[in-house]
């Protein structure tokens, strides 16, 4: 839904600065409760996962400051990401843009395109299907969608701005206010970090499956 809203806003804005679409503001309002609930849902997932493994941080006594602290220490970047969307992105979008830049808000909406595939990968692992072709295909889709919609979207926004005003891509940053460049870097930095983690995970899975195939061939039945 977020990606569909983003594409709708982007394709409706011929002028990347002044054109507007009602979804830019209304979808932010629609998504805010989800972001707040998602923090709570992530905590519950962490709590029950730790409790199922018998960790001390999730003792049978139930929820406590200790379990909350353990969650925040483990998932601090995701929590900061969600809080930043609620406490920074939301007020900027609704109150401080003066109705400008709906196109770029739409671009940022499309960053959620990779999320369903990331979730599907976790579901397949829980179902014991992590060695299937479906999981491998989904892994490739995760990498491609994440890189396209969370990394390449930033140079794309700069290129679209430069195209409208006749500025080469490599010069666009020098024509923007410092706060715009800093804001983009703050948003891009965790995306780049998470993409590196995805690449490392993909490498580990590939090497594990490769070793598994090698051991299978070594231990397989021999024929004369």
| pLDDT attached to residue 224 | 47
Three-class SS state of 189: helix
Residue 55 has pLDDT above 60, yes or no: no
Question: Same domain, yes or no, for 91 and 121?
Answer: no
Q: Helix, strand, coil % (nearest 5) of the chain?
A: 80, 0, 20
Calculated CA dihedral for residues 167, 149, 204, 52, nearest 10 degrees: 140
Give me the mean pLDDT over the 82-88 stretch: 90
Whose structure tokens read 């839904």?
1
| Residue 185 covered by a domain | yes
Do the beta carbons of residue 194 and residue 111 sit within 8 Å? no
When comparing pLDDT for 217 and 190, which is higher? 190
Cβ burial, residue 85 (10 Å; 0-12/13-18/19+): buried
Both tokens assigned to 140? 């490739």
> Given the structure tokens 């409706």, which residue do they identify?
12
If one counts the domains in the chain, the total is 2
Helix (H), strand (E) at residue 6: helix 2-12
Question: What band does 124 get if pLDDT is binned at 50, 70 and 90?
Answer: very high
Instruction: Find the domain containing 177 and state its range.
Output: 114-211
Q: Does residue 162 form part of some domain?
A: yes
> Do 79 and 24 share a structural domain?
yes
Tell me the angle at which helices 115-126 and 133-146 cross, rounded to the nearest 10 degrees: 150
Structural domain contains residue 219: no
Banded pLDDT at 217 (limits 50, 70, 90): low
What is the residue whose two structure tokens read 């990401």? 81
Give residue 25's pLDDT.
94
Residue 221 banded pLDDT, cuts 50, 70, 90: low
Query: Which tokens is 34 given?
Result: 């989800």
Q: Are residues 95 and 126 in the same domain?
A: no
Coil, helix or strand at residue 158: helix
Least confident of 53-62, 116-125, 139-148: 53-62
Q: Indicate if 101 and 7 belong to the same structural domain.
A: yes
Task: Compute the average pLDDT of residues 200-207.
Answer: 86
* 106 and 27 part of one domain: yes
């Amino acid at each position: 839904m977020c990606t569909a809203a983003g594409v709708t806003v982007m394709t409706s804005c011929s002028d990347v600065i002044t054109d507007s679409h009602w979804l830019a503001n209304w979808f932010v309002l629609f998504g805010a409760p989800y972001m707040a609930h998602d923090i709570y849902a992530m905590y519950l997932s962490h709590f029950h996962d730790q409790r199922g493994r018998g960790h001390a941080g999730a003792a049978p006594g139930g929820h406590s400051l200790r379990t909350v602290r353990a969650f925040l220490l483990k998932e601090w970047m995701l929590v900061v990401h969600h809080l930043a969307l609620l406490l920074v992105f939301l007020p900027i979008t609704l109150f401080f843009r003066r109705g400008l830049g709906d196109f770029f808000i739409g671009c940022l909406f499309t960053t959620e395109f990779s999320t369903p595939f990331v979730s599907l990968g976790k579901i397949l692992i829980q179902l014991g299907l992590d060695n299937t072709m479906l999981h491998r295909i989904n892994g490739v889709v995760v990498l491609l969608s994440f890189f396209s919609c969370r990394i390449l979207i930033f140079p794309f926004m700069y290129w679209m701005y430069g195209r409208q005003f006749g500025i080469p891509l490599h010069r666009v940053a020098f024509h923007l206010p410092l706060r715009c460049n800093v804001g983009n870097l703050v948003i891009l930095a965790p995306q780049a970090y998470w993409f590196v983690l995805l690449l490392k995970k993909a490498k580990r899975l590939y090497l594990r499956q490769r070793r598994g195939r090698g051991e299978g061939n070594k231990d397989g039945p021999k024929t004369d």
